[in-house]
Structure 1
């Protein structure tokens, strides 16, 4: 799943129309797996004359419109019988094993177990047409090789490592339950419920499920809001598209309605939410080019490294943490975020003005010298981030020349993320360029090099 977006306006619309006219597509509707999928869904009450599976040169697999979709028109109405939920699992042959297990499974694990078992059953599975249409691999961090993790931005790298670790821990902690399912398996359980099989199922649920609230029950633990939606999950994301999506209690269907419409034979898109590219990569395994929601995060370690000469840095960090100003410090194409500049203004102040730190976090202005120091520090942070990004892109280029196809797909996604972030950082530096002192002018001093009693203005 991939996406793209363009800025609003007449010129942007012309560029988008030109781009869309150059995008090629090939229908996939005649392929056996999609013929089977349509037949499977038709038997459960779903038909669609508006959309067909197609392969697009810019996004890969998606859904193509066969007719012009008008604003507010219903794109898809998928009956409840077509949705794969925990209710499906509990009513299946796995239900008795889940209900009688000594510990309650999470809804996510229940769905993962069902997917693994159904894939193991092959064509004997009622859900085989859907299982067969799912990707065989993903470009989520859970799949990333160590070399791919190493070229991620620092914050993403930590969360990607956490994702890999979480899937491994889920596999390890669930082995006893997997063992209880031996009676329904035709092979030894350890050959069916491998780490790789659970990883595939975990990514399938996390990247392809739609949000649908379910009532709690006595057999599963935690919030249950997953629903796998065959055919509907072929829709790709684009940040500038608006749709209305929800389960309709009256029709008992999961419905998606277009807000602005789509021209005939173009790709139909949906919107997963106002997510930046780092989140899209972590949760869905793709990056949206030109994503208007994208930012570059300033890692706390980088901030400390740039400001390591400040003798009161530890105390300031503690104060920022206590006031929830350590995380979500970002820069965008328009410049540093308000949160980042506010944190830098606080960091610009000497320890002697401790009594005024809170006022700065609440938006009170600082003196011109300390504002200058804050802007200059923002420039330094952007330059350091840009250096890291360029170094990572060089490393990615080297890795692409000597990797296998699976790793190449992973590197392509990370390369897209890094390229988008390089553009953001370049534009941010341009935005800051007119607000910093010229090279021959004296730069503001380090906050605690001068213990005067400067007042905030």
Structure 2
């Protein structure tokens, strides 16, 4: 006999659309019972998951969600042994994941927030961090490198969590910890209480029930803002919404590679999308060229691990990355790429001397207009264009080699359990190839 769905309170009915699984009803009841305030919004089942839609007409600059400080889950507001980043040498991501994992072993735990977190199988299929070497080897160099860095951080964080917490009676398995680590990585927002003024920005992480129902959109000027005050967290609209329209926040203007490795999804029409081409630009540079580019902050790929703390308010969004990158989007290659290639065509015996090098430095320092430089060194610009075309052609060939390899994996029985990750990798390559096709059409 099927399990009967428990009846909704009249108050909850206002905020839950039909077809949403009951587990979300429990969380809704929990946040409302703890003084959360919701206005004109509704949890809804969408084609790609759960999200927030307008239950009636919503105006611009209207506060639609308030979550009190008491509902936040972070190392400032919860009691957990040896977890304070002020009193102990604690890694916040590590300890917060340990806390979430440990709750699975609490006999009296029936936390409605933990019950709505994605399953581990969902994380394993969607996040490159958990993909097999065979799949990662057929992804872009940037995705593969980032995933490997994440694997290293997860390994270090687990060792830290075991040392700091398990020796004091906290229980969790490696798989439970991996699941919790992924949940923290994909669902935290930036939060800095006054006491944490010395804590690094990348460690100011909190989980916020209900707020994480809001899905991401790159339109920062239209997506809702999220702001903190002493009593809690507020979501405010930047545009009007019609009934049934999905309401978004933004994690930042991230390309689909970043969204894939950090959050496990890509956007089909991501206006912030671009493609990292460091792997193909750097071989065009000599060590002396690279040294100069580093000195003037125009060097690309110096990969350090990036921990992004999601925050929807543009004034407080935090991203801690390595050096900036060489990028291509559907309209152009970035200015940094052009500057690197302009230096690359200056022969080594002319570096740091001669008029051409001095004019290049004037361009770098803003003492010469780009149009004037291009006109003055038209021959060099032609060489830059030829190198760039060779790079783009090489990228295309690389993608055309990787996609068939991934498709062959789909046909192998041994790869059946990797179907979702393989399809995600193929879809990302499709997006990149489409980007290059549009770039070519606009720059012929």
TM-score range, shorter chain: 0.7 to 0.9
Return 5+ residue gaps in structure 1 as ranges: 1-24, 434-457
Distance 2:269 2:135 in 1: 23
Quote the residue 1:419 is aligned against. Answer: 430
Quote the residue 1:247 is aligned against. Answer: 228
1:193 aligns with 2:173: yes
Q: Is the 8 A contact 1:34 1:133 kept in 2?
A: yes
Which one of the candidate residues 110, 113, 118 is aligned to 1:130?
A: 113
Q: Is the 8 A contact 1:118 1:125 kept in 2?
A: yes
Quote the residue 1:18 is aligned against. Answer: none
Quote the residue 2:308 is aligned against. Answer: none
Q: 1:281 to 1:152 in 2, by over 3 A?
A: same
Q: Is the 8 A contact 2:58 2:240 kept in 1?
A: yes
1:379 aligns with 2:389: yes
Quote the residue 1:315 is aligned against. Answer: 288
Distance 2:44 2:133 in 1: 33
Deviation at 1:131, TM superposition (A): 0.4
Quote the residue 1:106 is aligned against. Answer: 91
Q: Is the 8 A contact 1:28 1:53 kept in 2?
A: no
Q: Report the 3-state secondary structure (helix = DSSP H, G, I; strand = E; otherwise coil) of the residue aligned with 2:260.
A: helix
Quote the residue 1:401 is aligned against. Answer: 411
Distance 2:87 2:38 in 1: 43
Q: Is the 8 A contact 2:93 2:157 kept in 1?
A: no
Q: Is the 8 A contact 1:178 1:193 kept in 2?
A: no
1:41 aligns with 2:31: yes
Q: 1:169 to 1:76 in 2, by over 3 A?
A: same
1:264 aligns with 2:243: yes
Quote the residue 1:177 is aligned against. Answer: 164
Deviation at 1:379, TM superposition (A): 1.1
Q: Report the 3-state secondary structure (helix = DSSP H, G, I; strand = E; otherwise coil) of the residue aligned with 2:38.
A: coil
Quote the residue 2:52 is aligned against. Answer: 63
Q: 1:358 to 1:271 in 2, by over 3 A?
A: farther
Quote the residue 1:349 is aligned against. Answer: 346
Deviation at 1:98, TM superposition (A): 4.1
Quote the residue 1:325 is aligned against. Answer: 298
Deviation at 1:42, TM superposition (A): 1.9
Q: 1:74 to 1:387 in 2, by over 3 A?
A: same
Q: Which has the higher contact order (CA 8 A, sep 6+)?
A: 1
Greater Rg over alpha carbons, structure? 1
Deviation at 1:116, TM superposition (A): 0.8
Q: Is the 8 A contact 1:141 1:163 kept in 2?
A: no
Quote the residue 1:359 is aligned against. Answer: 359
Deviation at 1:52, TM superposition (A): 2.7
Q: Is the 8 A contact 1:237 1:270 kept in 2?
A: yes
Distance 1:75 1:358 in 2: 56
Which one of the candidate residues 258, 262, 280 is aligned to 1:302?
A: 280
Give the alignment's TM-score, normalised by structure 1.
0.77
1:388 aligns with 2:404: no
Q: 1:109 to 1:222 in 2, by over 3 A?
A: farther
Range moving further from structure 2, 387-396 or 288-297: 387-396
Q: Count matched residues.
A: 384
Q: Report the 3-state secondary structure (helix = DSSP H, G, I; strand = E; otherwise coil) of the residue aligned with 1:117.
A: helix
Quote the residue 1:32 is aligned against. Answer: 22
Q: Deviations over 1:267-287 (max 9, x none)?
A: 221111111212212221211
Range moving further from structure 2, 360-369 or 231-240: 360-369
Distance 1:358 1:330 in 2: 26
1:78 aligns with 2:67: yes
1:154 aligns with 2:141: yes
